[in-house]
Structures are given as C-alpha cells and as structure tokens.
Structure 1
C-alpha cells in the first residue's frame, strides 16, 4: 500500500509541488545576488562582480526551469510545505555557495592579494572557497543566520562578498519562504498557512498569510534601517577618524547581521576589530533588537504604545536573564583572570565591574543569549565554568520566539517553567477549584495547557537529543588539543545558530565535523521537525 493511499503522499508523489516551490524560491535568491554584484561594481571588484553575475544566472535559470516544469503542480499541504522548507533551505545554501567557488577559481592571485589589508601577512580568505564544502558551509551559515565562518580574515574577501555574507543572513533571518510569500508566491487557504508555518513561524499579524508575510518584512526592513542609522551616527560620534565610507558600510552590514542575529562582520576578529569598549557597547542594542519578537514590534506600532514591550513575558524574561547571566559570567571570568578578593564583597564587585572580565561577560553573554554571535573574546581560552555558563545559561535557550533567533526559545522555556509551577500548585487546590494556566496575556484551560506544555517539552527534548548525538559525533573526530567543554560549546553554537566559536570551526577542521555543523545549522534554523519529515518521506517513498 502506498503512502498516498492512506492519505499521506510519499516523497515521489509530492515531488512536483516541492520542485515547483523550490524553483520559485531559487528565482528570488538568484535575483537577489544582483545586489552584491552592484556593490562589487561600486568598489571596482570586477572578478567578484563576474562571480555574482554567473551564479545569479545559473540560479535563476535552474529555478525558472524547475518552476516551469512543474507549474501545474497542486498547492502544498502541510506535509509538502515541511519538505519544501527542508529541501528549499538546503538547495538555497547549495546555490548560495556558487559565488564563493566561482570567485575563488576565477580571481587572479594578484587581485586576491589586493584584497588583503596593507601590512597583513595572510592570504585572501577567498582561496578557502576553492573547496566547495567550505563554500557550502559559509552559505549555510549565512542563510541560517549562524555566523560560523570559513572567511578567517573577513576583510580579505572584498566588499562584494562582505555585503553578500550580510545579505544572506538578513534574508535568512526573516525567512526566505516568508519573503517569497510576500513577493512571488501567493497561495490561498491552507497552502499559504502551511508554507508560512514551515519556517518555524506561527504568529499571524494580518488576516491573510500574504498580508502577514508583507507585514513581517515591512517591520523587519524598518527596524534594520533604524539600526543602521543608529550605528552610523554612534560610530561617527565615538570614532570620527574611522571615515565616512567605512562607517556607513559597516553600519549597514552590521545592521543586517545584528537584526538577523546572524553575527557575520566586516571586520577581522568581529566587533573586537574596532579595539574599543565604546564600540562594543554601541553594538549591544543592535543585537537586542533582533532578539525581540516581531509581533511585539507590530503590536507597538499598530497600537502606538511602547508598553507592548514591557507586557511581553519574553522581553521581561530576556532582560532578567541578561542581568543574571552577565553577572554570573563576569564572576567566572574574574576568577579566571585573577581579579583579587580581599574580603570586601562590595570592593570586589567594583573591581569586577571595571575589569576585562565584566567587559567580556557583558558583550559575550548578550551575544550568546540573542544568538547573534559577534565575538570580542577568545572563548577557547576561557575556563570550563565560564564556557558552560554561556552554553547552559544562554545558547541553549536563545531569545524570543517570533524573532530571528535560534535555540529552544524563551517562550518554550517559559511555558515549561510555568507548567512545572502549575502542576505543583494544582496538588494543593481543592477538587472544585478552577485550574487554568496563565501564560503571558493568555489563559488556557487544563486540556489546552497540557497541550502547550507537551509541545514545548517535546521540542526541548528533541532538541537536546539531537545536540547529544552531535556531541558524540564531534568527540569521535575532534583533535586531542580541544576539551570536552570546547566540543559542547561548538555543537551548541552550531545547532543554536549562535556563531560564537571556541576555535574548532575553521578551514582545517575535520571533514566529518564540518558536515556535522552544516546539518546542525540546517536543522537548528528550521527547528528540526521539517528535516525529520524530509528524512521520513525519503525512507517511506
């Protein structure tokens, strides 16, 4: 008996719908490659421009052919939509890798050398992308807004690729399928809902899904523009000698990667490249704005009431975690760097607050909690306690559901915590008492509450299982100079789409580890289920 005969179409049956929708997505992705092409032309990076033009042509032609071939396919059901999401992101990452590979082989050595900053002794990082696997890794890291990178020295890839890396994260942050719903595909009824939900979204801002997709992108573009203006103005005030052109370029790129909580940077050594505590503090709000749920922004704008932010339980929990986590991480780092304790707690806290430990703890904890991944400290040199604080306290949970973050999400953690409290309190209630559960602004009856708690717990358990399996794989191939804490950190940062690194990720990493992180980034961005549906459909076809 086939899957279709029992109401569940197999992978082969669903193929035309899947190919059609993935093809439409590639037309959009290929067209967007023309933007970094223009940036390359602006900076007279001719070979980079040719690479983007070639890759755009290949991607658009392949996508258009796939769409035309299956144009008469039926609209997707939820099952199809899950496969479209899983395969769509994988195919997009593959086509997204093309510019890197083409440029790596096409660009003459002399031109590559011109990308390397004066006085630097390293080669252009574009050379790393002669290995297609490295290019796929970079592309997957970009579109999933992770931020782990094979561009070891970012400035050496040219302005066109710096922009392209930021653009990938910005598009991936709000969602490629959501973007395609807003611009290209306009399915009706359950088809649109299924596609929309396939990218781990459930909030509905407008009556129609297409209207919701457009509302998301309007808010997303608006916030990104405001963050870019803020970063440019703040950088000019704090570091006026940086130059107008560099200031604007960095501000726009960092606005894209901050709002998407992606974490790619235009600088060598990420935000640490500025060498300025003030510049680190300036970039903290750019991470926080990306970790707040887009529906909260929509509510604040539509109601014209900033109190919407304070009413959202995820925002309140996130800022509470910032306070506790920053202080906790700073305390561990203070012991590591040897801040002296003379028996006076207040004097000790004062020394911690003015130490490098607090500077690193402030930036890196917020970077981890928001899953942005901008880095200012050599995390691989930290003690194990500090590493585990940032993993368990920040990276596993992540930011708000409905934002661009990775991880389990604050909302699920909040639901599980409220569920535990609710279950304990119910024991002491009389039999005739009403035992509703209140979560944020919503009140749930007992059956509904159990469903919410079960869904959150199931996802958290699945997430941790995948993380544990990934850890075992990594430990099997990891060089002996890395510790268990390093391995835990790296699998958590890949699956949580955080992008901070303990030093494992790089062009010299084991191939198995590189493939593992590609799969983790892919699964983490889609919240695992679509990938499991894809795997299940392949084995059932």
Structure 2
C-alpha cells in the first residue's frame, strides 16, 4: 500500500512538472496580445492579458519548480500529461476573456462595435466563464466554433489572441514545450511526442524533431501570410494597408493551423467577394498537408516527395470528387429555382452559386479549417450529409494540423480490405505483403497497422454516436437530425463549421458536450481515456 501511494505521488509530481512547464510557455505567449492591444490602444484588453499572463506563468512556474526533480514520464504518464495539459491550458486561456468582459467599461465596449452596427460587443458573452472556457478550448484545439458571434466587436487584441491560440494548438503545445523548454531523453521524449497523436520522426532526436516541426510550421505560415497580403492588395486595393496586413497574418495563422477563426464578421463571407474566397482556398490546403511531407521536399529538394505521397494524392482526389457531389446537391437548394430551364440563364445562376458554395465549403470541411461562406443550416439534408460523411469524418492528412479520423487511417483500412480480399484467391502458402505508400509490411505487421487504424475509427464513430444521442436530448426542436449530426461531427473533428446550434444561447449540456468533443477530438481520444482511467483506478 505504501509503495502504491509512493508511486502515485511520484507520478503526480511528474505530471504537475510537465503541465506546469507548459503553462509557463502559455503565460509568456499571452504577452504578444498585450503588445497588439497596446498598438491599437485597447488598454483594458492589454491589462486583462497582462494579468492573465502573470497568473498563468506564476502558477505554471510554481508547479514546475516544486516538482523539478520528478522522474521522467513513462508512456501512460505522457498520455495523462497531454490530456491534462490541454485542459489546463484551455482553463488558463479563458482568463483573459473573463477579465476583459468584467473590467472593460460599457463606453469602451461600445467603441469596439463597428460604426453603424446595432449589436453589443461579443466580449460581454464572456462574463459567463463557461463561454470563455468554450472559446479557449475551441481555440487551442483548432476547432473554430465560437461564442464571439460578432468577431470585430471584441477588439484587435482578442482577434489576435484567438488566432494565436489556434496557431499554437495547431503544431502542438507539447511539441512546443519540447522544442523550447523541456528536453527529456530516451523513451520519455518519444512518449511525450506521441501523446499528441504524432509518430513520424523528422530528426534522430525528439527534441530535434520538435524544433524541425516548428521551423517548418513558422516558415509555411509566414509564406501564407505574405501570399494573402499580396493577393488582398491585388484583389481589394481599397481595403487598406493596415487591415490587409492584420487580416493576412491572422488568417495565415488560423489557415495553417486549420483552425478557422476569422477577423471578420461572418468569417470569409465578410469580404463579400468571390475572388477573396478563391484567394483563401490555398491557405486551407497548405494546412491539411502533412508536415513531414514539407520536410521531405525541403530536405531532399525533390518535389516527388510531394506528388508521390499517398495522403497528398488522396487529399486532392477527395477534394475534386467531393466538390462535384456537393455542388450537385446544392444546385437543388440555392436561391433561384430551375423553372424547368436547367441549361438557360436561371440554370447557370443556380449552378454558379452552387459551385461557389460547394467549392469553398467542401475544402473548408475536408481540411477541417472551418471558414464559412454559406448558411449551412439552410442547406438540404443531402448537402449537409455530403460534408459530414465525405469530408468531416475523414479530415486531412495525418501529421498535419487537421482533425477527423485522418486520410492515412482511411487509406490503411481501404488497402487492408483490398489486401484481405486478394489473399482469398492466393494459394494457401503464398506470402502477400501489404504496401502502403513507400513502405512494405509483412503479414503480421500489416495486420497490426490495419487493426490499429480500424480500432481508432471504431472508437471515433462510437464517441460520435454517443455525442449525437446526448445532443438530440437537449437541442431545440427547430434543428433537424442532419443539423445535430453535423454539429457533433464538426466539434469532434475540430472543423468549426456550424449549422447554427453553437452560440451563446445553446443549452449548457450541449456546450459542455462540445467542449469534451473538441478536447478528445484534438488529442485523438486515447489520452483523455487514459486520464479518466487513471482517475478511477486511483
């Protein structure tokens, strides 16, 4: 008994130390929106960030210092550190929202609302701590569901903070900690690295791999920001230099993280420009491509690492097919009826609008970015389910910042089914290897890969089904079954598109449900289950 209690205390110290180290970094990161708020003379927002940064860094520093000599984590400790670390980060990340909502005077809040608008500042919604926690969890998990229903009314400091949360969460907070602060050796580093759903090493050491990930991530984000700024200057020269640069940097962060928060009211639809929608499509696709693919292209200086990657090929193939199917369903819905003239003017109007919505929204869903340009809650059920089944469940590439089951797992399961069927027609003693991309697996190895992918997919769908039943019990009657399916899929897949259920007026049970789904979806379920299991076991 005494030995068991000692092991529990030792494990707790290990978890507290690593979670504390993470909060030191998160607290330091809050100083950036302090500077942004000062630049835009948003004094109360700056004060909220400064206080929150101090609270977060001090709490994390104390936890780290008191347990500095704790043993390195084993595999199950790393899973708990990941689950608890993301939850605690979201909790501390909510503090600036709550503080600003209470300390900002009414007159200042009114000044944040754009001229001519007749709504209140969305900062007021964060007087409810649960809304603030929801926003923070949505940010760090790169989901993009939001309580800031009027984004411009929160001020530039909080617009930046929301984008920054998604950008940090996209590459992984534990990966950030490994790259900057904590440098464990051996299996401890590998376990921490894998706890956020990563497996492929870019460098011989885990610390080197973490730093390589962040170098690529920063580089691609910077390139996307320059691209968006230049493209916006060309497409909308009257938008203003300051607005262009601010939007470009923020959308580069939320695009590369496939998070989907926006600086605009109504997301990308706020530009009211088809050209601007087209401009933002590449910013979503770059985030859905695996970081190891970028690493292979840059280190080998060979574009074939990109063109021959099975996940990249499948991503573009799925996008092509999905856009066509969604356009067909939307052509039956968009504003103007066919009137029996599908090849005349009316037909062209309908098809053009359907393709515009289908192109952007399907790519947004498949990449799990979540930028929105259409009222999805008004779509027909066929269009809604096309996005859910064709895009949101699978998501983008493993090793990228996306959510969902991941293309690689879907590819492995599909190849596995074909492999099993092929083996039926072979002689009894024949040896048939399974080839996945550039790797070839023996029968036992292949079975392990297929089993792991299928197990995760089954667990993912089981969680989704359970969440659907909970949501159906509390969702208002005006929402359809398709709307409910869409909303649980977007939360768990960290997509961020909404059929209209998510908002400050949503049922509390649904809000808590989505928080858990976002948390579990970003960490690929297992770390959260490990945390729950450890609590009940002890």
- CA gap 1:3/1:312 in 2 versus in 1, 3 angstroms: farther
- CA gap 1:71/1:395 in 2 versus in 1, 3 angstroms: same
Number of residue pairs aligned between Structure 1 and Structure 2: 537
| Cα drift, residue 123 of structure 1 | 0.3
Determine helix, strand or coil for the equivalent of 2:435. strand
Determine helix, strand or coil for the equivalent of 1:336. coil
* Preserved contact between residue 392 and residue 489 of structure 2 (Cα < 8 Å): yes
Map 1:154-193; keep pairs closer than 5 Å.
Answer: 154-193=151-190
Q: Distance in 2 between matches of 1:349 and 1:431?
A: 61
Could you tell me which residue of structure 2 aligns to residue 443 of structure 1?
Answer: 440
Determine helix, strand or coil for the equivalent of 2:32. helix
Structure 1: which 5+ runs fail to align? none
1:523 to 501, 514, 520: 520
Please say if 1:398 is aligned against 2:395.
yes
Could you tell me which residue of structure 1 aligns to residue 338 of structure 2?
Answer: 340
Q: Distance in 2 between matches of 1:414 and 1:249?
A: 38
- Give runs of ≥4 in structure 1 deviating > 2 Å: 1-5, 9-13, 337-344, 346-354, 431-434
Determine helix, strand or coil for the equivalent of 1:187. coil
| Cα drift, residue 476 of structure 1 | 0.6
* Preserved contact between residue 28 and residue 53 of structure 2 (Cα < 8 Å): yes
1:201 to 181, 198, 202: 198
- Deviation string 1:288-307 (CA, Å, 9 cap, x unpaired) is 00000000000000011122
Q: Distance in 1 between matches of 2:319 and 2:364?
A: 10
1:99 to 96, 101, 109: 96
Q: Distance in 1 between matches of 2:344 and 2:465?
A: 41
TM-score (norm 1): 0.97
Structure 2: which 5+ runs fail to align? none
* Preserved contact between residue 368 and residue 395 of structure 1 (Cα < 8 Å): yes
* Preserved contact between residue 261 and residue 267 of structure 2 (Cα < 8 Å): yes
* Preserved contact between residue 263 and residue 374 of structure 1 (Cα < 8 Å): yes
Q: Distance in 2 between matches of 1:84 and 1:135?
A: 23
Could you tell me which residue of structure 2 aligns to residue 118 of structure 1?
Answer: 115
- Deviation string 1:342-364 (CA, Å, 9 cap, x unpaired) is 698x8899837852111000000
2:495 to 480, 494, 498: 498
Q: Distance in 2 between matches of 1:329 and 1:30?
A: 43
Q: Distance in 1 between matches of 2:532 and 2:349?
A: 50
CA RMSD in angstroms comes to 1.7
Q: Distance in 2 between matches of 1:420 and 1:319?
A: 22
Could you tell me which residue of structure 2 aligns to residue 467 of structure 1?
Answer: 464
Could you tell me which residue of structure 1 aligns to residue 301 of structure 2?
Answer: 304
2:71 to 47, 71, 74: 74
- Deviation string 1:91-146 (CA, Å, 9 cap, x unpaired) is 00000000000000000000000100000000000000000000000000000000
* Preserved contact between residue 338 and residue 346 of structure 2 (Cα < 8 Å): no
- Deviation string 1:14-42 (CA, Å, 9 cap, x unpaired) is 11000000000000000000000000000
| Cα drift, residue 339 of structure 1 | 5.6
Map 1:201-350; keep pairs closer than 5 Å.
Answer: 201-337=198-334, 340=338
Q: Distance in 1 between matches of 2:403 and 2:41?
A: 36
- Deviation string 1:57-97 (CA, Å, 9 cap, x unpaired) is 00011001111111111000011000000000000000000
Could you tell me which residue of structure 1 aligns to residue 529 of structure 2?
Answer: 532
Could you tell me which residue of structure 2 aligns to residue 416 of structure 1?
Answer: 413
2:474 to 477, 483, 487: 477
Determine helix, strand or coil for the equivalent of 2:482. helix
Determine helix, strand or coil for the equivalent of 1:23. helix
1:369 to 366, 375, 387: 366
Determine helix, strand or coil for the equivalent of 2:372. coil
- Deviation string 1:265-310 (CA, Å, 9 cap, x unpaired) is 0000000000000000000000000000000000000011122111
2:126 to 125, 129, 143: 129
- CA gap 1:432/1:347 in 2 versus in 1, 3 angstroms: farther
2:422 to 421, 425, 444: 425
Q: Distance in 1 between matches of 2:214 and 2:72?
A: 23
Determine helix, strand or coil for the equivalent of 1:397. coil
Please say if 1:488 is aligned against 2:485.
yes
Q: Distance in 2 between matches of 1:306 and 1:469?
A: 43
Q: Distance in 2 between matches of 1:43 and 1:37?
A: 10
| Cα drift, residue 341 of structure 1 | 8.4
* Preserved contact between residue 334 and residue 352 of structure 1 (Cα < 8 Å): no
